[in-house]
Chains A and B, each alone.
Chain A
Amino acid sequence: RKEVEQDPGPFNVPEGATVAFNCTYSNSASQSFFWYRQDCRKEPKLLMSVYSSGNEDGRFTAQLNRASQYISLLIRDSKLSDSATYLCVVNVNAGGTSYGKLTFGQGTILTVHP
Chain B
Amino acid sequence: NAGVMQNPRHLVRRRGQEARLRCSPMKGHSHVYWYRQLPEEGLKFMVYLQKENIIDESGMPKERFSAEFPKEGPSILRIQQVVRGDSAAYFCASSPFGQEFYEQYFGPGTRLTVT
Task: Output the nearest chain A residue to B44 by Cβ-Cβ distance.
Answer: A104
Task: Output the nearest chain A residue to B56 by Cβ-Cβ distance.
Answer: A97
Number of interface residues of A (CB under 8 A): 25
Contact B109 A93 (CB under 8 A): no
Q: Which residues of A contact B (CB under 8 A)?
A: 31-32, 34, 41-46, 49, 87, 91-93, 97-107
Tell whether A97 pairs with B55 under 8 Å between CB atoms, given A104-B43, A104-B44, A105-B42.
Answer: yes
Contact partner of B104 among A92, A97, A102, A106, CB < 8 A?
A102
Task: Output the nearest chain A residue to B105 by Cβ-Cβ distance.
Answer: A46
Instruction: Please classify the interface of chain B as helix (H, G, I), strand (E, B), loop, or mixed, using the class held by over half of its residues.
Output: strand
Q: How far is the CA of A87 from the CA of B35 in the complex (A)?
A: 14
Contact B100 A93 (CB under 8 A): yes
Q: Which residues of B contact A (CB under 8 A)?
A: 31, 33, 35, 41-45, 48, 55-56, 58-59, 89, 91, 93, 95, 98-101, 103-109, 111
User: Which residues from chain B contact A87 at a C-beta distance below 8 Å?
Assistant: 42-43
Q: How far is the CA of A97 from the CA of B59 in the complex (A)?
A: 13
- The 10 sampled A-B contact pairs (Cβ below 8 Å) are A31-B101, A32-B100, A43-B107, A87-B42, A87-B43, A91-B100, A97-B48, A97-B55, A102-B35, A104-B43
Contact B109 A101 (CB under 8 A): no
Among A31, A41, A100, the most chain B Cβ lie within 10 Å of the Cβ of A100
Task: Output the nearest chain B residue to A107 by Cβ-Cβ distance.
Answer: B42
Contact A46 B42 (CB under 8 A): no
Contact A43 B48 (CB under 8 A): no
User: Which residues from chain A contact B91 at a C-beta distance below 8 Å?
Assistant: 43-44
Contact A32 B107 (CB under 8 A): no
Q: How far is the CA of A91 from the CA of B101 in the complex (A)?
A: 8
Contact A102 B45 (CB under 8 A): yes
User: Which residues from chain A contact B111 at a C-beta distance below 8 Å?
Assistant: 41
